[in-house]
Amino acid sequence: MTTFTVTCPCCSGRLTIDGKLRAVIAHEPPPRQKSGLGLGEAISSLEGQAARREERFREQMTAEQNKGKVLDAKLQQALKKAKDDPSKPLNPMDMD
């Protein structure tokens, strides 16, 4: 029986192939790669993400509280612009 072992170029798994049958008779999955982070580093990363989320939440709360003032200022500016412009507004029906 002629068998040989080949390393898969795609996944780095090991394939055992039988030459007479011309078929794969065994497969060993590739070793799992480590994430590179230790437990302490992962915890500190999660804490950092939580702090960033909290900061973004605070920023959005402030923006939401000021939203009414911003919209009011834009409305007042648009009303002032409309009052200062004496020309008649365009009617889309008159464009034909």
Overall domain count for the chain: 2
**29 and 40: one domain?**
no
Sheet strand arrangement including 14-18: 3-7, 14-18, 23-28
Tell whether 29 is covered by a domain.
Answer: yes
**19 and 38: one domain?**
no
Cβ atoms 23, 17 nearer than 8 A: yes
**52 and 19: one domain?**
no
pLDDT digits (tens, 9 = 90+) for 9-67: 888 899 998 888 888 888 899 888 776 778 888 888 888 899 999 999 999 999 999 99
Boundaries of domain holding 24? 1-33
- CB-facing half-sphere around the CA of 78: CA atoms within 13 A: 6
**49 and 77: one domain?**
yes
Contacts of the segment 4-10: beta carbons below 8 A, 24+ positions apart:
none
d(CA 34, CA 31): 9
**77 and 42: one domain?**
yes
**43 and 14: one domain?**
no
**45 and 29: one domain?**
no
pLDDT digits (tens, 9 = 90+) for 63-86: 999 999 989 999 999 888 888 887
